[in-house]
Structure 1
Amino acid sequence: MKPTLRRRHLMMLAALALAPAAFAQSSNTPLRVILPVSAGSGVDAIVRAAQNALSQATSQPVVIENLPGAGGITGTQAIVKAAPDGNTIGFVSNNHAVNPSVFKNMPYDGLRDLTPISVVGETPFVLVVHPTHVPARTAKELQAFLQSRPGKTNYASSGNGTIIHLAAAMFAEAAKVDSRHIPYKGTGPMITDLIGGQVDWGVVAVPAVLGHLQSGALRAIGVMGRQRIAALPDLPTIAEQGFPEVEVAGWFAAVAPAKLPQHQLQRLHSAIVTAFNDPAVQAAMARQNNLIQPTSPQAARAFMEAEQARYARLVKQAHITLD
């Protein structure tokens, strides 16, 4: 063998010998999962329940990073700025579609600057009332009660411009009632004052309030989503009760930076579907009363575009603005 050919042959053998090590190194690259919410929140609990399954599905260590702030803008901006190499994803929720309508200066375009991977599922919302201050047991009775006291009742939210705020405003608009909005700094203080009677009614995620409904501390009027839920099988939806335009749930979606290569998009989508269909994850989601139905990337983009347009109309109707 000539020296030049021999050197090439040895180099090829060396490359083949190193290939398994290179592959192992690649598989050990962590998958960074950015959550624009605080630890312990609903989306955080969802993603952490799927962390091990996602690691198995991607053959990568999964590192979860909480970056809360500015209604989710802080963490989402970190996703936007990450390299589109398939090693950084994030999970966003309704506020991602709400923010462009309530914040005057957005540092990114929530549709153009991200790659939707999948709308993974949703957390149902329920409209609740203080059981002694509000005698209503149905949506129509609540409408009549509120209409009889224009400007004298109030409803709670977890913050101005949040999806909880918009969900309650959606019912108030549909029911044509005048009820004052009382924003809180988070769901915990909101629920505390609902139970204490400082506020009359509000909309909240089912996992956060189920125990209080079962104890009688709060009364459920109806499910805000499109279907009844297993945890409260006898509770009709608000739409069933004569308000078909009232339909909202707390969805959560996996996204990646823009310009993600197609093969990486397919890999990540497959991994997320596999992880959230894992039996242990499914059981955890059922305990949290989450509905898991992962969509395709194309369906996720269409859904997020429609949600952004829908919330823009509602924000305008409710006259909500934030600096």
Structure 2
Amino acid sequence: MFHVARRCILALLSGAVFAVLPLETGEAAYPEQLIKIVVTFPPGGSADTVIRALEPVVTAELKQSLVIENRAGAGGNIGMAAVAQARPDGYTLGVAPAGALTVNPHLNPAMPFDPKDLAPITLLAEIPFVLVASADIPAHTAAETIALAKAKPGALSIGHGGNSTVMHLTAALFTQKAGISMELVPYRGTAPATVDVLAGHVPFAVLDIPASRQLILEGRLNAIGVSSARRLASLPDVPTLAESGITGFESVGWFGLVAPAGTPADIVTRLNEAFVKALKDPSVVEKIRTLGAEPAPTSPEQFGRFIRSESTKWEKLINEAGIKAN
């Protein structure tokens, strides 16, 4: 009797030990709390709109809600610094813009963070640009634009959305690769640049697609070429600048999802899977394309390589063209 009772007690204790072990040594499944996503642009911008389009699908996949916090300013540096300094536990993420990760570090010696302080999760979307000409300019192709610029060296200009923006660098890259001299005219955003090229105050401009597409379709602006590597579904008849003879030309705005460096690999993988799934959802794809952007899901490794290649490209251009922060 004693031995039977003893065996029962030992069995109960053993079961209790195994029942407690997962709580003491195991880790709770991620995510077990709200996930904050820092967006480095104001509400209503492209990055903010894309994250909000992704939110329902990601929430359903992770079975956890997302909290979106807009921290605009300093070309994305303020928001990215907050993400870089957060705990690497997967509960603070950031929407990183191209400028903050690959342009600002080469223009600002006093950066509040190092891009290496961030772990790439996935590229989210690319925002291609289009080089346009005023309707009264006798140039409808890249070849005609280059010929015109060479006939009038320094007399023509290209408007863009602001100094140190990717639109600015796109215009600079065009003149560099084409071997021409054109004044680069900064504006406070795409809208005023669009107004001036439409009115003929500047002969050319680098614009984003939402600001220019309808004007191009109506024939009020001449589309010289898009800056992406492939033609766009929204402007299928407009060639890329690369296929127009400017070999290797590619320049797009973009933003991607990052976490603080040191975030566990399994959490990065889990987040990547959830966001990539959302980026491939047909309803989300449609919403992103209405913004003039293209969904661009990648693996964390692919995104990391892309960041490094973009940084190298812009560093070279900034140094050779003598571009300064303003």
TM-score (norm 1): 0.89
Pick closer, same or farther for the CA change 1:5–1:189 going to 2, 3 Å: farther
Q: 2:227 maps to which residue?
A: 224
Query: Counterparts of 1:232-247 in structure 2 under 5 Å?
Result: 232-247=235-250
Instruction: Tell me which of 271, 274, 280 is aligned to 1:277.
Output: 280
Q: 1:128 maps to which residue?
A: 132
Partner Cα distance (2:28, 2:105) in 1: 41
Residue 28 of structure 1 and its aligned partner are, at CA, apart by 6.2
Paired residue total: 316
- TM-superposition CA deviations, 1:181-228 (whole Å, max 9, x none): 211222222222222222221212223321222233322111111111
Q: 1:177 maps to which residue?
A: 180
- Does the CA-based 8 Å contact 1:174-1:245 persist in structure 2? no
The answer for unaligned runs of 5 or more in structure 1 is none
Q: 1:100 maps to which residue?
A: 105
Residue 267 of structure 1 and its aligned partner are, at CA, apart by 1.0
Query: Counterparts of 1:1-323 in structure 2 under 5 Å?
Result: 29-95=33-99, 96-110=101-115, 112-132=116-136, 134-322=137-325
- Does the CA-based 8 Å contact 1:104-1:322 persist in structure 2? no
Amino acid corresponding to residue 230 of structure 1 in structure 2: A
- Does the CA-based 8 Å contact 2:40-2:97 persist in structure 1? no
Residue 10 of structure 1 and its aligned partner are, at CA, apart by 11
Residue 308 of structure 1 and its aligned partner are, at CA, apart by 0.4
Partner Cα distance (1:216, 1:49) in 2: 32
The answer for unaligned runs of 5 or more in structure 2 is none
TM-score (norm 2): 0.88
Amino acid corresponding to residue 61 of structure 1 in structure 2: S
* SS of residue matched to 2:38: strand
Pick closer, same or farther for the CA change 1:66–1:196 going to 2, 3 Å: farther
- TM-superposition CA deviations, 1:214-265 (whole Å, max 9, x none): 2333221111111111111111111111101321122221111110011111
- Does the CA-based 8 Å contact 1:205-1:250 persist in structure 2? no
* SS of residue matched to 2:109: coil
Residue 15 of structure 1 and its aligned partner are, at CA, apart by 7.1
- Does the CA-based 8 Å contact 1:126-1:222 persist in structure 2? yes
* SS of residue matched to 2:110: coil
Partner Cα distance (1:240, 1:189) in 2: 29
Identical-pair percentage: 35
